[in-house]
Structure 1
Amino acid sequence: MIVPSPPQALKIGALAARSGLPVKTLRYYEELGLLPAVGRSSGGYRLFSEESLRRLAFIRRLKALGLSLEEIQACLAPHDAGLLPCHDIRQQLSRQIGRIDERIEELGLLRVELQTLLGNWQSDPLQDDDVICPNLQI
């Protein structure tokens, strides 16, 4: 469906240039429903509003905080329904803290394992044709 261009409608290439994101990413975001187009030009080009730039900045910020695109979509849903998404965003960020805490614990255990391994490391182990590296008992 061709919709008349809003006064400040941006083609996807212009939106990519202004947002710093590749056109491919913008198409993917549109496909997922994260970035709705306002229509298409008479030539069939996707058209986006100036609001799309703010929306992309919001998406980038949540991605930088470690949220998945699915989680970001859940944060945008209330906004798209005309509500403030702050409560939903807070929940997603709290879950992210939990995941970070789990990852920190996993990394701590990995660090101990590596330290133990290096603490027992033999600089010049005996060669064994059946073993790639005697220091790594597998």
Structure 2
Amino acid sequence: MVQSQESLLKIGAVARRAGVSVDTVRYYERRRLLPPAQRLPSGYRLYSQAAVDTITLARRLQGLGMTLDEVADALRAHDGGGATCETERWRLDAVLDRTRARLAELTALQGSIETALARCEAGCCELSGTAAGGTNRATS
């Protein structure tokens, strides 16, 4: 079904409504998160309100930690019509697992930094290259 041009939006209007840049709209189209836009003879892109809704959903999913590839897969499932919370929950579970793993890595890094700081305060600064025995690593 072809929509009337009055109900279609130029790329700038889509970007404003979705709260993104025009470049983001183009990028999402290139990545096939959006269907190809209709074109005027002048080359201007025309989108429906559905494009705004898709971009808004994509940004929300990215904000939850999904990669753009994961977002694209979720959008395809959504567009297929069979997506429900029950069938799609695994996507959020995977992001949560990844976030927990990253948090554990960051916690371990924090501990290492705190240990290095404590060593500096005790006169064994790792940044100066001076080891606990007083030798300079650069001259060893």
1:13 aligns to 2:12 (yes or no): yes
Assess, with a 3 A threshold, how the Cα gap between structure 1 residues 73 and 46 changes in structure 2: closer, same or farther. Answer: same
Q: How far is the alpha carbon of 1:39 from its aligned partner?
A: 1.3
Kept in 1, the 8 Å contact 2:11–2:47? The answer is yes
Q: How far is the alpha carbon of 1:122 from its aligned partner?
A: 4.6
Q: How far is the alpha carbon of 1:109 from its aligned partner?
A: 1.1
Q: Any stretches of 5+ residues in structure 1 without a counterpart? A: none
Kept in 1, the 8 Å contact 2:12–2:22? The answer is yes
1:97 aligns to 2:96 (yes or no): yes
Matched to 2:112, the amino acid is: E
* Alignment root-mean-square deviation, CA: 2.8
TM-score, length of structure 2 as denominator length: 0.79
Q: How far is the alpha carbon of 1:91 from its aligned partner?
A: 1.5
Q: Which has the higher contact order (CA 8 A, sep 6+)?
A: 1
Assess, with a 3 A threshold, how the Cα gap between structure 1 residues 87 and 39 changes in structure 2: closer, same or farther. Answer: farther
Assess, with a 3 A threshold, how the Cα gap between structure 1 residues 7 and 95 changes in structure 2: closer, same or farther. Answer: same
Kept in 1, the 8 Å contact 2:18–2:53? The answer is no
The residue that corresponds to 1:50 in the other structure is 49
Q: How far is the alpha carbon of 1:111 from its aligned partner?
A: 1.4
Kept in 1, the 8 Å contact 2:38–2:47? The answer is yes
Matched to 1:96, the amino acid is: V
Taking only the aligned residue pairs, the percentage that are identical comes to 35
Greater helix proportion? 2
The residue that corresponds to 2:128 in the other structure is 133
Deviation digits for residues 21-73 of structure 1, max 9, x if unmatched? 11111101001110124411232211110111111110110010010110001
Assess, with a 3 A threshold, how the Cα gap between structure 1 residues 105 and 23 changes in structure 2: closer, same or farther. Answer: same
The residue that corresponds to 1:70 in the other structure is 69
Number of residue pairs the alignment of both structures matches: 132
The residue that corresponds to 2:33 in the other structure is 34
Q: Any stretches of 5+ residues in structure 2 without a counterpart? A: 132-136
Q: How far is the alpha carbon of 1:115 from its aligned partner?
A: 1.4
Assess, with a 3 A threshold, how the Cα gap between structure 1 residues 111 and 13 changes in structure 2: closer, same or farther. Answer: same
